[in-house]
Structure 1
């Protein structure tokens, strides 16, 4: 009995030494360590990554990603859209049964891949999208609540926000917020530009680094700050999965040449359901569906998709409703009738405590 235990102990020790050697001394082991570190960087446990790659490498990794994301927003987008939103004349010479069917405003498709599952929501008329914001000062609002309150038919989480210790109240956005062509919030400080994701007055998607004056000249109506842009002028900017910033719940927005907007929503951090995806996965999902421009939105525990009054996905939060957030992309049958007021009117960044509920 003692002999068997000794042999078992030796075998376990050898396996442990072999495993450590693989992690530290082989290219595949090193890639796995950085994948684990990148995944932790996207969570509230970012500091744990130092035990995998070291504090210096962690600091370098975060800085490299920031520099890379900034560079990915620099190329000027030149894509054009040819929207199908206007009613098409009926050709009386063609039988009614063969006339092209009018697409629904919103279509939802389930998707899955290695380790992840989620949805693609297609909005066939990009001019039907508005940025929604909370109703009351002091805290954010869940997307389903925004959808119900404003009369929207669907909604997806939007831009980033100040989130102390990942317990923030969701009320202080990062960067800018524009809705209905008006600047609701501006936290640029001395910065002259920011990475934005949004739409202009014609429904053309805008993503990349722009100044406020450029956004005004471009006629941008709806916008939030987030990064990185992952597709521009029809080409993907992320070369491979190793550059995909770890595995996490994801939300992203893209646009096809016909003007349709694609929202990719992927669940994560839920073994047995969906672990999550990297940004390369998201990029490829977009490219496969014809996106010519696409950008990352706030993911992680913020990722949520609402349609017909229900949360469709499974957010990685204690509540099935998801988090309190400052912004959401909302879809309306009649967006011109939506009442969306500036909840930050009269408030500056210094007037908001993002950790106080």
Structure 2
């Protein structure tokens, strides 16, 4: 029985990460010059109206952020426990500092965030330690005190305010991760947002949906997507891909999203919440096309943003 389970798991992993799923899309991106006066030179916004390899239409926007600029900050925002959710545009309107780019954040239930959120070095909400009886380590993106981007697998033990980083995802989902095992460290980020799965590792597309216990039924489904990644020279990429809009933008699967992130130069990348949550606000204006009825933004508990540093 154990051998059968192992073989099945290996086949699933092979199928989900077959090279055929990660074909380059060769999208044509254009710099949005009209936003040049609204943003510092360290932030560039690109847009594509393209077709995927099978001819399906695609609209997507991404921000390339040079985080070496000392006058910008990458941060998380959270509505707070028990408070009404807000749209990304509402988050933007309430910022005291000038906001440059905002995207939706991690996963959530009707009442709370179920993904990791770290703000100002403090754990705001932990990642859920148990998902349907399993113990997954989930992907997270963070900015260190030194201003460096990181993507890793994380776990929050119940009753512990420390977030732990794992060099590899927990492979035995039936057992709780071991905090003192090899490759496990405390993860001290100034800002962090969790979601998953990890899409790119060491510059190669590899979707860790099975390892992170994320519904594999939607693995190949094309949908609106939001993702974050970073390049070898620490430029952060924030992308929103519109979807579920026939004739305009069908969206992408997770393997297609992973390939796009690699094409944009990412050495690591992470999937954030998608579907009707996917939205991007730039310089105080919604520039993506959400899939909710009428193009309305879905209220969310958390966002990830790039904003002007306050003195």
TM range (shorter): 0.5 to 0.7
Match of 1:139 in 2: 84
Match of 1:254 in 2: 229
Distance across 2 between alignment mates of 1:177 and 1:238? 22
Match of 1:113 in 2: 51
SS in 2 for 1:314: coil
* Residue 210 (structure 1) aligned with residue 148 (structure 2): no
SS in 2 for 1:332: strand
Match of 1:265 in 2: 240
Q: How much has 1:136 moved relative to structure 2?
A: 7.9
* Residue 154 (structure 1) aligned with residue 101 (structure 2): yes
Confirm or deny: 8 A CA contact 1:157 1:251 kept in the other structure: yes
* Residue 175 (structure 1) aligned with residue 112 (structure 2): no
Confirm or deny: 8 A CA contact 1:203 1:259 kept in the other structure: no
- Residue by residue over 1:284-338, the C-alpha shift from the partner in whole angstroms, topping out at 9 and shown as x without a partner, is 221122111001110100000000111001000125341111111111120x56x
Distance across 1 between alignment mates of 2:241 and 2:302? 18
Instruction: State which of 289, 296, 309 in structure 2 corresponds to 1:314.
Output: 289
Confirm or deny: 8 A CA contact 2:228 2:269 kept in the other structure: yes
Structure (1/2) with the larger strand percentage: 2
Distance across 1 between alignment mates of 2:260 and 2:298? 25
Distance across 1 between alignment mates of 2:247 and 2:88? 25
Distance across 2 between alignment mates of 1:254 and 1:187? 20
Distance across 2 between alignment mates of 1:213 and 1:268? 33
Distance across 2 between alignment mates of 1:105 and 1:134? 28
Q: How does 1:184-199 map to 2 (within 5 A)?
A: 184-186=124-126, 188-189=128-129, 193-199=137-143
Larger-gyration structure (1/2): 1
Distance across 2 between alignment mates of 1:235 and 1:201? 27
Distance across 1 between alignment mates of 2:308 and 2:236? 15
Q: How much has 1:192 moved relative to structure 2?
A: 8.3
Count of aligned pairs:
235
Distance across 1 between alignment mates of 2:192 and 2:270? 12
Unaligned runs of 5+ in 2: 1-7, 18-39, 156-161, 166-184, 209-216
SS in 1 for 2:151: strand
Confirm or deny: 8 A CA contact 2:81 2:112 kept in the other structure: no
Distance across 2 between alignment mates of 1:327 and 1:187? 13
Structure 2 length-normalised TM: 0.66
Structure (1/2) with the larger helix percentage: 1
